Amino acid sequence: MTAENRKPRLQRLSTLYVRSPIYFVTACTEKRRKLLANQNVHDAFVKFAMQGADYGAWVGDYVLMPDHFHAFVATDDRRITLAKWGKSLKNAISKTLRTLKVSPPHWEKTFLDHVLRSGESYAAKWEYVRNNPFRAGLITPSDEWPFMGRIFELEFRKD
């Protein structure tokens, strides 16, 4: 499919009617290069995510796959936007990749995000995402994927 045949991408909502929404975020590496599933990148991701609370961003559950990641993120838009958070995370991981002598570009330009509408939506998405390493043939059912976890407990709130 050529660029002129693609449907235009939907724009992010300008106003959200959920206090501190939880976003389901996916970002892919440039040309789906297998860069992310290693301990150095995982450590950089966790360090960045743990410091996020100081800036108004909280990462809940996440999975780093070789060529993309999924994360549940809540932001305080008065302090940091989701777009700025995503750009900062990509920069932090790219810094680690450069120290490992991995040449850029490391990332696709954008990321995908979806506002969760309920706690059940979070649980259902997490159940699907946490099984990604198994479905990709990276682990057996009894193995635990080392590049996933939870930084903060996120709670869906409708008020």
Tell me if 45 sits within 8 A of 64, measured CB to CB: yes
Band (pLDDT 50/70/90 cuts) for residue 16 is very low
- Residue 13: CA atoms inside 13 Å, Cβ hemisphere, count? 11
What pTM does this model have?
0.85
pLDDT tens digit string along 79-128? 899 999 999 999 999 999 999 999 999 999 999 999 998 888 899 999 99
pLDDT the model gives residue 76: 87
Given this structure, which CATH class describes domain 18-150? Answer: alpha beta
